[in-house]
Amino acid sequence: MDATDGPPVLKLGVQDAIAGLALSTEAHWNQTEEDWRIFLRDGVVFGIRDGARLVATAALLPYSGNNAWISMVLVSGTHRRRGLATRLVDACLETARKNGLTSWLDATPDGAAVYGPLGFTPTLQLRRLKLENSAQASAPVPSAATLGALCARDRRATGFDRTALLTAFARRSGSRIVAASGCIALIRDGRTARQIGPLFADHAAEALALVRAIAQSENGPLLLDAVASQAAFLEGLTTSGWTIERPFQRMRFGPATIAAEETPFAVAGPEFG
């Protein structure tokens, strides 16, 4: 089918949050309705409907310094391999081009097959890890840290000012920001598991100690998206019960725009970078 054929690409609104959630849930992703509201409210979300049913999405979330994050590239199983993802990512790239933005994304292996031919180039690698945590929340919660401290560290490590995003996360009822020995991390609710990230530290041993303390103070399953080049951290996690679920490939479209001063141990999530 020609890329211009088929149902139109539409701009979605906050009223589409539940329909978006149905797509991410079908893909077994961890996003909540609140996550969808961030993309729909603060970004541009493109979608394709089949009749009344939303069957495909892609989101562009603007970040500081002429950057944007592309994510939520989802096509229902009933509508794949018809070029829908390609059309939606093209719509995101066109928006980015018009606004002079460099686009970033964290691709699943299926997604990387779509983005490579569009001109994205690989940067760093991530690993999604899961802990089927059966702790009885016996340990005390690690010390609370401030949102300001998290935003400042996030800016140093990512090169983006994500105060608005991190503030939105921190305001959710289940969220907490914790710190110990020069490490700082955010924990927030997900659909099926709580997510740890971003997590910043000076050394792998301290990052591992903070993750252990968090796990001991939490009841249910936990997810974390580790930067693969933090090899000692990754190895420490896998030898303490965390299992690797899938890789993500970070990719960039457009000129390099950021100069990060440190490498995170865990990112906020592939949908946010």
Binding site for ligand COA (CB under 6 A): 27, 73-75, 80-86, 107-108, 110-111, 113-114
CB nearer to ligand COA: give 57 or 133: 57
Cβ distance to ligand COA smaller for residue 230 or 249? 249
CB 68 within 8 A of CB 36: no
Q: Nearest approach, Cβ of 222 to ligand COA (angstroms)? A: 21
CB of 264 vs ligand COA, minimal distance in Å = 19
Give me the least distance between CB of 86 and ligand COA, in Å please.
3
| Residue (112 or 147) nearer to ligand COA, CB | 112
- In the complex, minimum distance from the CB of residue 248 to ligand COA, in angstroms, rounded to a whole number: 8
Contact 195, 30 (CB under 8 A): yes
Residue 129 or 207 with smaller CB distance to ligand COA: 129
The residue (of 84 and 196) whose beta carbon lies closer to ligand COA is: 84
- Cβ of residue 154: shortest distance to ligand COA, in angstroms? 22
Residue of minimal Cβ distance to ligand COA: 111
